[in-house]
Structure 1
Amino acid sequence: MELRRFSTAAAIIGTTFAPTYSFATSFELPIWKSEAEERGYILPKAFGLSVGYMKVEQGINVTSIELNGIKNQITTPGLPAFELCAPDVPSWVPCYEFPGTPGKDVPINDIDIDTRGGYQESEVWTVRADMWLFPFLNLYGIAGKISGYSETDIKVNVNFGDNNSLSLPYLPFRLDLDGNMYGGGFVVAGGYERWFTIIDASYTKTNLTVIDGGIDSIVVTPRVGYDFTDYGHPVRVWVGGQYQNIQQTLKGNLSDVFGPQIAAALSEDGVDAQFVVEQELASEWNTVVGFNYVINPTFNIIGEFGFGERQSAFISLDTRF
């Protein structure tokens, strides 16, 4: 799962002005800075660097589970021959002799996997660098570290053909998530008097390290807020919604999930069967509320909280220069 945040400067400025398309005598960022300040707008410093932490809990859906390296048949164990004689009976009474049965190769026509529920918990640490290209447009790059897990109950159904099948009970299917995340995005900001609005959009990719696979995330967060600075309080608050389109592809060995015995029973000789799991979020939208506290023109603290199907808590320390 990946971390989402927005630039402090987006909340600081109200930038619905008509640019004159004339540049200052020396190049400066953001572009049209002088024109904006002449109109009374207070702009943040052009460059920013922040460190953030976020914890997320949310439901997930497993869209598919694929197994590779599975046997095309299972050999049932054979029973040895034995003789059973009843005690304290005349010798002329014959004993029961069991001739034994050989093992039998039972074909596997297919294996179906049903899923029930799904839950994911993750923590993300990020470093983010941003730049105000225009007073209303911020560009940023982000990198970080994600850790956590996802868990789903699965039920395995084995079809042997000829109307013969075996269904195992639901078992927990847990996958540990650990990986490195990177990406980028942009913020569009505008405002009127003390009201402001910002739209944050980003794309990030996470390469997992504990298991194979990756996470691709598209996140769009529109927000509307109010600036209390003119009342003597350097605080800005907002409310909004967050859209997340996240596709997760997770790969690994069957023995790492179900143990070596079950894996050996299903895997081809000398091969550890592998799984490929496709997951998506149970809900794409949730509500967010947040605040920005300005310590001084250089440092800011940002906090944001998510509610609904996806619950989250985020905190960040920003510095601008």
Structure 2
Amino acid sequence: MRITCFLLTVFLFLLCRETVAQYTADKIVGQKQKYVSLADSLKHSTYPYLLPIWGQKVISKGFDLPFPMGFSAQYVWQQSDIIINNLQVGFNNGPKRNCDDLIRFDEATATTNGVNVRPDFWLFPFLNVYGILARSNNSTAVKCGLWIPDSSSSWKKIADINTKADFDATTIGFGLTPTFGIGGFFLALDMNFSWSDIEQLDKPAYIFILGPRIGKNFKFKGEQSLAIWTGGFRVHMNSGTNGSLPLSDLFPVNEWNKRIDSGYMKVANSQQQVDAWWNGLSDRDQQNPVNKAKYNTANTALEKAGQLLDGASQAASTLGNSTVQYSLDKRPKDKWNFLIGAQYQLNKHFMARVEYGFLSSRKQLIAGLQYRFGF
């Protein structure tokens, strides 16, 4: 099942494109002299940069703005459980057959380690726009079983499939972060869209991530501050995936015939058991709609298994030039997870932040550095 491993790893890689929005424009309020002095200074100052639009207007109303341009680099680790279904497989561009009843997934866990970079700018005082370029190393561990009926009323697992796939991936995207801050408290709604063009997929994979956050910024001496927040992380993606792989990528050449011969033998044994059960029924029991349905279901599954083996056998005869085509639907086990984060600002130019997501089947850690400047 290296096909499935590959696809799930692509999926997880895409999940990690989310990045943390920097601290926003902040309306200075408070009765302490330092706040009153800062607000008064902002109201009477001249804004020197082209961005954001309306920068002069908002500082005249007592808002403190970050530098308009920035560049950040972030390390990302994530581990997530994936649910897949509607798995279809075909060989050498022949017809694909649904394998949901034959291949049953017990567990699929994907892990990624990567780095993404993000240039950004404040288009408006309360809207940050950014681009994403990312590279990651990924692995996916899949545990599943191959099942066939041994009588019309029962199925048996004839093989356990435990495998792991590794690959590198690259993605690009962009994001928008509407934010608002007052008195050190802030709200942010991070949204980003990304696409990954990977050789084994028919078309780029797309994902949308939504990350609402609420937090508080604590000011220290000079320009130093610490922002802390909590929020959520939601994933939406195009669930359908299609692609093609060389047959030799799935198993070594010397294993193909052994696996195919073993499969034929197990299917034949199961067919004998199903037929023996059916022939052992009385005429009246054979007319029972329940027994008919069981018998037809078993025969359909065994016929499908035989057709897949026939396709694999034909492909194996020209293994060097053969391909396997696949399609499946996939989704995260949990759409949402909870997150907490913090950002330390050394000054208005340099910042460091970290964020951790948990309380679901998905866990993630993002840590990064940011540099901001005027424009």
TM-score of the pair, normalised by structure 1: 0.75
Q: Is 2:256 the partner of 1:257?
A: no
* Deviation readout 1:37-71 (Å, 9 max, x if unpaired): 1111110111111111100011111223221118x
1:6 aligned partner: 20
The alpha carbon displacement at 1:245 in A equals 1.6
1:147 to 2:199 alignment = no
Structure 1 residues 158, 207: closer, same or farther in 2, change over 3 A?
farther
* CA distances 1:144-187 after superposition (whole Å, capped 9, x unpaired): 11221222222224689999x98522211433242111000100
Write the letter of the residue equivalent to 2:364: S
1:76-87 correspondence to structure 2 within 5 Å: none
- Is 2:220 the partner of 1:227? no
The 5-angstrom pairing of residues 123-138 of structure 1 reads 123-138=113-128
Contact 1:250 1:278 in 2 (8 A): no
Tell whether 2:236 aligns with 1:245.
yes
- 5 Å matches for 1:43-122? 43-69=65-91, 112-122=102-112
Aligned-partner Cα distance in 2 for 1:39–1:181: 40
C-alpha change, 1:259 and 1:166, in structure 2 (3 Å) is farther
State yes or no: 1:312 paired with 2:312.
no
Distance 2:215 2:221 in 1: 15
Listed one character per residue, the Cα deviations across residues 178-232 of structure 1 (whole Å, up to 9, x for unaligned) are 21110001000012312111000011112235x4465421100000001111687
Secondary structure of the residue aligned to 1:34 is helix
One of 159, 162, 173 as aligned partner of 1:172: 162
1:281-320 to 2 correspondences below 5 Å: 281-308=332-359, 309-320=361-372
Contact 2:131/2:174 (8 A) holds in 1: yes
Q: Which whole-Å CA distance do the structure 2 matches of 1:231 and 1:27 have between them?
A: 25
Structure 2: 5+ residue runs without aligned partners?
Answer: 1-12, 29-45, 261-308
Q: Secondary structure at the match of 1:36?
A: helix
Task: Report the Cα offset of residue 238 of structure 1.
Answer: 0.2
Greater share of residues in helix: 2
> What letter matches 2:354 in structure 1?
G
Shift in CA distance, 67/15, structure 1 to aligned 2, threshold 3 Å: farther
CA distance in 1, matches of 2:248, 2:328: 15
Q: Note if 1:196 corresponds to 2:186.
A: yes
Give the C-alpha shift of residue 135 in structure 1. Answer: 0.3
Per-residue CA distance 1:220-251 (angstroms, 9 max, x = gap) = 00000011116876100000011012346374
The separation in 2 between residues aligned to 1:60 and 1:41, in whole angstroms, is 44
In the alignment, the residues of structure 1 paired with residue 98 and residue 238 of structure 2 have an alpha-carbon distance, to the nearest angstrom, of: 30
Q: Which moved more, 1:284-293 or 1:259-268?
A: 259-268
> Kindly tell me: are residues 160 and 275 of structure 1, through their superposed partners in 2, closer, same or farther at Cα, counting changes over 3 Å?
farther
Structure 1: stretches of 5+ with no match in the other structure: 17-23, 73-107
Cα 1:291–1:112 change in 2 (3 A) is same
Judge conservation of contact 1:3–1:124 (CA < 8 Å) in 2.
no
Please tell me whether the aligned partners of residues 88 and 98 of structure 2 are also in contact (alpha carbons under 8 angstroms): no
Taking a change above 3 Å as real, the CA distance of residues 256 and 45 of structure 1, as seen in their structure-2 partners, is same
Measured on the aligned residues, the alpha-carbon RMSD in Å equals 3.4
Question: How big is each residue's C-alpha offset from its partner over 1:13-40, in whole Å with a ceiling of 9 and x where there is no partner?
Answer: 2369xxxxxxx99982101111111111
What TM-score, normalized to structure 2? 0.65
Inter-CA distance 182–294: structure 2 relative to 1 (3 Å threshold) = same
Q: CA deviation at 1:274?
A: 4.2
Question: As a proportion of its length, which structure holds more strand?
Answer: 1
Matched residue type, 1:5:
T
The letter of the residue matching 1:13 is A
Residue 295 of structure 1, CA deviation: 1.4
Distance 1:283 1:4, change over 3 A: same
